[in-house]
Amino acid sequence: MAKRIKKPPVKPEKRLEWLHRVEKEGETLTHIAESDDFDLRTVRKHIEIARLERDVQKARSEVLRDVLVDHYRDLLDTVRNIEKQVSGEALVSMEKEQPLMLGLRMHMPRSPLWENLRKWNRTLTELAESKDLIRNKILIEIEADGRLNGIVSQGADGVIPAAAVDVLVHQVKEWARGREGLTMDRDIHLEKTSEGRVRMRYGFSSFGEIEESQVEIIKAVLTDFESGLKDRPEYLEIEKLFNRLGRLKTNIGEVLTVILLRRIVPGKCKFCPI
């Protein structure tokens, strides 16, 4: 009786070859067993193992693909949120405690986006401080002027000087951006309420119900103050800051647009599934 020779273990490459020959070339298990000198049961067993390995690998690949898609979707949502905040001229939170923002920064550590966002936040802070400064100075000067002090308003949201200051600060912000702002011919609206009394509104700002004869006093005060707004150092500072903000918005927008159009964020982070 011939001594039976034990064959070496079937390697993964071999069983993948057998699976390919069965599925792609149409060979039978019997033909494979005879041509490769293997027991039919061994061939059948390893072809089933190959199928199982392939199916597991396919399932893992699909799961990994879905996880990757979700990861990139989260990062792109973070990019869109930055875009929304910049569009609305809001401060952009860059705290490292925010996982998605941290992940985005790890993906693009050398991107000019981060320095531009730091400048963006600093510029907005300086703008807010400059607006408060000019508001306070205008209020002090209007109260010192005295022409509005004797005007009593009924039904206004605030006292007359406050309404006037709101208008003047609005003009500063609009003019500093290169916009037209409010004009008296177009934006002062008077609604007669009773004999000799009107409700006055200048653009968005309500001056409440006043005596009709007081309208010209308010207009004169506003005209005097409007005529000198652009000469104020605070106005020139606000104009400079708005110009800087516009440049930063453009630079930030260009980076964000490229990321959103690519739909893939370059690099890796500690939250990446692979």
Instruction: Give the pLDDT confidence of 203-251 residue by residue, as tens digits.
Output: 999 888 889 989 999 999 999 999 999 999 999 999 999 999 999 999 9
Tally of CB atoms within 10 A around 113:
21
Q: Give the closest residue to 215 by CA, choosing from 182, 189, 183, 181.
A: 189
Instruction: Give the pLDDT confidence of 248-263 residue by residue, as tens digits.
Output: 999 999 999 999 999 8
DSSP H/E element including 134 = helix 113-145
At 30 the three-state DSSP class reads helix
With a CB cutoff of 8 Å and minimum separation 6, the contacts of 109 are 267
DSSP H/E element including 130 = helix 113-145
Instruction: Give the pLDDT confidence of 122-176 residue by residue, as tens digits.
Output: 999 999 999 999 999 999 998 888 888 777 565 444 457 888 999 999 999 999 9
